[in-house]
Amino acid sequence: MKAKIEVLKADITTLEVDAIVNAANSSLLGGGGVDGAIHRAGGPAILDACRDIRAKQGGCSTGEAVITTAGNLPAQYVIHTVGPVWNGGDHLEAKLLANCYTNSLKLAEEKGLKSVAFPNISTGVYKYPKAPASAIALITTRKFLQTASSIESVVFVCFDQLNYDLYWKALN
Ligand code: AR6
């Protein structure tokens, strides 16, 4: 089955999807940007679950992903992934960013989830240039969906106009 890919301009914490993805940091203890918004809106259950994961595996490496409850959010789960900090482009940033999308989608498939919403990972505080980041997000997701079975819908949630325009153009 071919899953659909959509773009939305929205606050990701408001979406009623099976899982929203968080652009976290390797501590998993929260931060600013979308990470701060998710923890604020979802409440302490998310941080508790992140602390449990830290106790077991000591955080989350760049490009990897973990899954927790979504607490009070309308979504069921939060998938926390750690994007690369942009450092000029010669430090495996593209590969690591692609891994964020692939590993998040893998967790969603393992849980049998149908709908996943992504923010524009690494394009805020981590300064990844938005155009190449959007291309990586779309190419990696399309490739993954060719062999996915549970996922029916992926939404790219854009918070700023430039990201929205980039995704909209690529998808329309
Ligand atoms: N809904 C959707 N997208 C959002 C929201 C929201 N509520 N808020 C911000 N964005 P960033 P990063 C967009 O900085 O670059 C944190 O401190 C934002 O416009 O959240 O991966 C973490 O703890 C941008 O396009 O994440 C890490 O330390 C995108 O989300 C670090 O920032 C990502 O921006 C991660 O940096």
Contact 116, 154 (CB under 8 A): yes
- pLDDT tens-digit profile of 109-154? 999 999 999 999 999 999 999 999 999 999 999 999 999 999 999 9
Contact 103, 68 (CB under 8 A): no
Indicate whether residue 159 lines ligand 1 (CB < 6 A).
Answer: yes
According to CATH, the topology of domain 4-171 is Leucine Aminopeptidase, subunit E; domain 1 (3.40.220)
Residue 90 annotated to the active site: no
Indicate whether residue 122 lines ligand 1 (CB < 6 A).
Answer: yes
pTM of the model: 0.98
C-alpha closest to that of 72 among 48, 104, 105: 48
Evaluated on CA atoms 6, 10, 12, 15, the torsion sign reads: negative
- pLDDT tens-digit profile of 21-41? 999 999 999 999 999 999 999
Those residues with Cβ within 8 angstroms of residue 145's Cβ, 6 or more apart along the chain or in another chain:
2, 3, 5, 105, 151, 154
On the question of pLDDT at 7 being above 90, the answer is yes
